[in-house]
Every structure is written in structure tokens, then in C-alpha cells.
Amino acid sequence: MNYATQNLPTTAPADRPDARFDVANRLFLRLYQASNLMHKTGTRAVSRHNATTQQWAVMGALSRPAARESGMTVKELIGFLMVSRQNLAGVLARLEDLGLVERVRGADGDGRLRHVRLTPEGERVWRDMLGDIRGYYAAALDGFTTEECVLLFRLLDRLRDSLGGLPAPPTPG
């Protein structure tokens, strides 16, 4: 048994008032730990491309068929990736400096809207990164069945949707 599963309850006894809190507390800690490890090990996985997990996520979003030709607005990227404008701005600036993304006028009739899309060099780098990404996914999910991966995906979707429905915290001031 490793530190991650040590003292993990198999059920949450209903007779303990704090049982659900205890499980929730451990769950959110595990998600925090997994997220930090994903950033660290994921960045290592694409390091030969001089990329970070944040850059990987942006390039992945822009490589989808729905975004490939016309790109996505910054607002669409923020919504899709669920990041702040400030966090995305730095990642986009770095990708632009590397010549991997470009901002172009949208084809939606509104010349003011700029869309971000992969450049031909960005497309090439993305294709090169895919081999390392596939290897990373295979190694990270080695102990999971496909059914377990699908279940985890569905559960994380439910958690994401639940978190997305929470009211925004009040702004200080």
C-alpha cells in the first residue's frame, strides 16, 4: 500500500457526520496531487519539443477539426480550456514568439474579431508531439482498463459540471 491509498476508507459510514467531508477532502487533495504530477510529468513528456502542458493544451485545442481552419477566438479558448485570460495570454504570447500560432481576422464577417490558429510550423510541431503524447498517455494509464478510463472520464465530467455550476466568489473590494 502506498501513501496515496493509505487509510483510504472503502465506504463512507453514514453514522459519522464528518465522513462525507473526510472523503471529499481526500478526493480534492488527490485531484490536486494528480494535477501537479500531470503538469510535471506531462511537461517532461513533451520537453524535447520545448513545450509545457499549457502549450500542449492550447495546441491540442487548436488542432481539433472544428478549430483547424479558422481557429478559435481567445474567448472560445478560455471557455474550452477553462483558464483565465491572464494565464492564456502568456501561453499564447510564447507560442506566437515560437511561430507556432498566429492571430488572424475571423471569417465570421466581423473583421474586429481575431482568431488564433496553428501556423504550418505549429501543425508540424503538433504532429511531432503526438508520438510523445501517445506514449505518455499509455504509460500514465497502463494500470487502467479502457472501461475504467471511460468511467473516470465520466466522473470527472460530472465533477467539472458541478464545479462549473457553483456561484463565482465575490470580488474583493
pLDDT value of position 171: 78
Q: With 70 as the cut, is the pLDDT of residue 2 above it? A: no
Domain boundaries, the chain: 41-161
Q: Using the Cα atoms of residue 92, residue 160, residue 151 and residue 34 in order, give the sign of their dihedral.
A: positive
pLDDT value of position 1: 45
Amino acid letter for position 85: R
pLDDT value of position 160: 94
* CATH class for the domain made up of 41-161: mainly alpha
Q: With 70 as the cut, is the pLDDT of residue 108 above it? A: no
52 in Cβ contact with 43 (< 8 Å)? yes
Burial of 153 (0-12, 13-18, 19+ CB in 10 A): exposed
Q: Using the Cα atoms of residue 70, residue 73, residue 78 and residue 79 in order, give the sign of their dihedral.
A: negative
> What is the average pLDDT score of the chain?
89
Q: What is the pLDDT of residues 10-34, one digit of tens each?
A: 555 556 778 999 999 999 999 999 9
Q: What does the alpha-carbon distance between residue 157 and residue 161 come to, in Å, rounded to a whole number? A: 6
Please give the DSSP secondary-structure letter assigned to residue 48.
G
Q: Could you tell me which of 8, 130, 15 has the C-alpha nearest to residue 64?
A: 130
* Cα Rg of the chain, angstroms: 20
Average pLDDT over residues 98-107: 87
Q: What is the pLDDT of residues 57-66, one digit of tens each?
A: 999 999 999 9
Residue 135 — pLDDT band, cuts 50, 70, 90? very high
End-to-end CA separation in angstroms for the chain: 47
| Residues 6 or more apart in contact with residue 118 via CB below 8 angstroms | 59, 62, 63, 68, 71, 100, 101, 126
Q: At what angle do helices 85-97 and 74-81 cross, to 10 degrees?
A: 120
Q: With 80 as the cut, is the pLDDT of residue 155 above it? A: yes
Q: With 90 as the cut, is the pLDDT of residue 8 above it? A: no
pLDDT value of position 16: 74
